[in-house]
Amino acid sequence: MEKVTQSIHYQYFNNKFIKYAVFLLSIAAVKTICAQKQTSAELFSAKLDSIRIQLKIPGMAAAVQQGNAILLEQGYGYADMEQNIPATPQTSFRVASVTKTFTSTLLMELVEQHKLNLDDPVTQYGIDLGNSKITVRHLLTHTSEGIPGTYFQYNGYRYGLLGKVIEKASGKPFYSLLMERIIIPLKMTSSAPAIALDQFYDYSKLNPSVLPFFDTTFNRLAKPYEVDNSGHAIHSEYLNEFGAFGGLATSVSDILKYSDAIDHNQFISAASQKEVYTAHKTNNGIATPYGLGWFVQSYKGVDYYWHYGQSTGESALFVKIPSIHLTLIVMCNMDQLSQPFPLGDGDLLMSPVGQLLYLCFINNNEKAENDLENKELITNATMALKKGDTLKAQRLYNVYQKKYDAKENHIPNGKIIADIRNVGVNKDINRTFKLLHATSIKVYAVGENCSGDGSSWCDYGWIDNNAGQTVWRMQGKPSTSAGGAFKNQKVCEEIILPRGQYTLHYKSDSGHAYNYWDSLPPDHFFWGILLLKDSK
């Protein structure tokens, strides 16, 4: 009996010891995980501030939340440089197109209430865009241009027309619905729409309870800035506008409340939210980078739902990563968080903040994959150019270019008749050439195609004859990928020109051109147009 008792005592204490040891190990594991999270958050915070400084942004606020834990909530720089007022998590910033996610939420609520249908024609809501086949869904997914539903083309103006849809379906002004359905219920006390003064007076007179929201928001609003020609931050003015497209003023703390409410389906059902986060497909079944009011992206098996904002004196980035229950919000009082980077194309990882988020919280600070490393090289070059450091930018471009030196050269061979190459930003270049007889010519042209259907080019070439008539142009020609970003397109064509004198032209706009790339460059960095005579 004594041995049995001793055995029982031994097993009891042994089990207690094992449980206690497991408990200690669990505590240690939790502490390690928390320390890793904290280390990632601290690293993210330090590098985020470095990005702010490189982009010459005066003030910024950021928050990172994972599950119920707020890993980061901090201000950087100044909300008001002249008065030395620091930016804090409670500072209000205007967030431009991040407002579009609120529009989506309100619209989908009305869908669930059977007050509208996404496939309703917009003409039903008093909107005339010259095509009766355009639907609410087309506006919501940025697929309303050209033949509706055929391609994605980010268009803030057209998205803004959803405000009319919401107002007609609900019977209320868009701004009051935003306040009463989202901002007030969530106690987003530093949030309010930047409506006109006459609207504010009328609204606050009818609804005095909204006054504290407006007072707090606009008393704490960061002062707007822009970069002058010398690269210095100077005072700017916000655009006097608010609508379904943008114009909300809010804080990072308030956006976290909004994000939590989305996650808990406080506005719409889980099924509707899943539809919001599903990439829209064109009529041909091709997935676009946009869902119902949010950008939708998958990288290395991880889904990102996000939106950026950009307007005079304001920019923002709002990202949700459901697989790790993580939310990021960054706000600034200058447009530079977004303006230098082609976020409207739908690639979060062309943003230095998007790259930083991935490296700190997804990739655990391991070496970047090759494709992400390429994007880092280009965004770092962009930031170097913003600082005026052209030498650093050129070094980064050289590193990128060397990685592709071994690629097969797809530039056609032949005797050059005329050429315009290495075209930078804001150029309008021409070359004259003369043909002594009718000649078969190979045209090789690379530029920026800035429309989903290939009809519109931002950087392009053409040929005029001696009478000033255009005899060939890139616009409207079939194009294929030139490598790198999707918008890098090339036109390869053989044409016959009669005897005579001609002028070859090439024109570029203010972004994405030779050694000023805002996205991945084309193969071999060729940017321009070649006219060649077949050497055979």
In this structure, the number of other CB atoms found within 10 A of the CB of residue 76 comes to 22
502 pLDDT exceeds 60?
Answer: yes
Residue 402 pLDDT class (50, 70, 90 cuts): confident
Q: What is the pLDDT of residue 38?
A: 62
Q: Where do runs of H (alpha helix) occur along 64-190?
A: 99-112, 136-140, 156-160, 162-170, 174-178
- Cα 197 to its chain centre, rounded Å, is 31
> H-helix or E-strand containing 202?
helix 197-206
Q: What is the pLDDT of residue 31?
A: 39
Residue 365 pLDDT class (50, 70, 90 cuts): low
Q: What is the pLDDT of residue 16?
A: 41
Percent of the chain with pLDDT strictly greater than 70: 90
Quick: pLDDT tens for 264-274: 999 999 999 99
Q: What is the pLDDT of residue 451?
A: 80
Residue 3 pLDDT class (50, 70, 90 cuts): very low
Question: For the ranges 273-287, 398-412, 518-532, which has the lowest average pLDDT?
Answer: 398-412
Q: What is the pLDDT of residue 403?
A: 80
21 pLDDT exceeds 90?
Answer: no
Helices 390-402 and 370-386: angle between axes, nearest 10 degrees:
160
Quick: pLDDT tens for 418-454: 999 999 999 999 999 999 999 999 999 999 998 877 6
Q: What is the mean pLDDT of residues 457-482?
A: 95
How far is 494 from 441, CA to CA, in rounded Å?
6
How far is 158 from 162, CA to CA, in rounded Å?
8
Q: What is the pLDDT of residue 364?
A: 66
Q: Which of 463, 491, 495, 494 is nearest to 477 (CA)?
A: 491
In this structure, the number of other CB atoms found within 10 A of the CB of residue 31 comes to 10
Per-residue HEC secondary structure of 168-181 comes to HHHCCCHHHHHHHH
Residue 72 pLDDT class (50, 70, 90 cuts): very high
Q: Which of 335, 301, 297, 334 is nearest to 319 (CA)?
A: 297
Q: pLDDT: is 21 or 439 the higher one?
A: 439
316 pLDDT exceeds 50?
Answer: yes
Q: What is the pLDDT of residue 231?
A: 87
Q: Where do runs of H (alpha helix) occur along 450-509?
A: none
Q: What is the mean pLDDT of residues 384-399?
A: 94
User: What Rg value do the Cα atoms of the chain yield, rounded?
Assistant: 28
Percent of the chain with pLDDT strictly greater than 90: 84
Q: What is the pLDDT of residue 5?
A: 35
Q: What is the pLDDT of residue 455?
A: 75
Residue 411 pLDDT class (50, 70, 90 cuts): confident
List of residues 6+ apart from 1 with CB closer than 8 A: none
Question: For the ranges 229-238, 298-307, 364-373, which has the lowest average pLDDT?
Answer: 364-373
Residue 405 pLDDT class (50, 70, 90 cuts): low
Q: What is the pLDDT of residue 535?
A: 59
Residue 358 pLDDT class (50, 70, 90 cuts): very high
Q: What is the mean pLDDT of residues 467-482?
A: 94
Quick: pLDDT tens for 317-339: 999 999 999 999 999 999 999 99
Question: For the ranges 32-36, 180-184, 424-428, which has the lowest average pLDDT?
Answer: 32-36
Q: What is the mean pLDDT of residues 73-77?
A: 98
In the predicted model, what is the mean pLDDT of the chain?
91
Cα distances (angstroms) measured from residue 17 to each of 11, 13, 26, 31, 529: 10, 6, 14, 21, 77
List of residues 6+ apart from 78 with CB closer than 8 A: 58, 59, 84, 85, 86, 87
Apex 251 CA angle, 248 and 257, nearest 5 = 95
Cα distances (angstroms) measured from residue 389 to each of 49, 382, 518: 19, 10, 16
Q: What is the pLDDT of residue 536?
A: 54
Q: pLDDT: is 50 or 407 the higher one?
A: 50
Give the start-end residues of each E strand in 343-487.
Answer: 415-420, 428-435, 439-449, 457-465, 470-473, 480-481
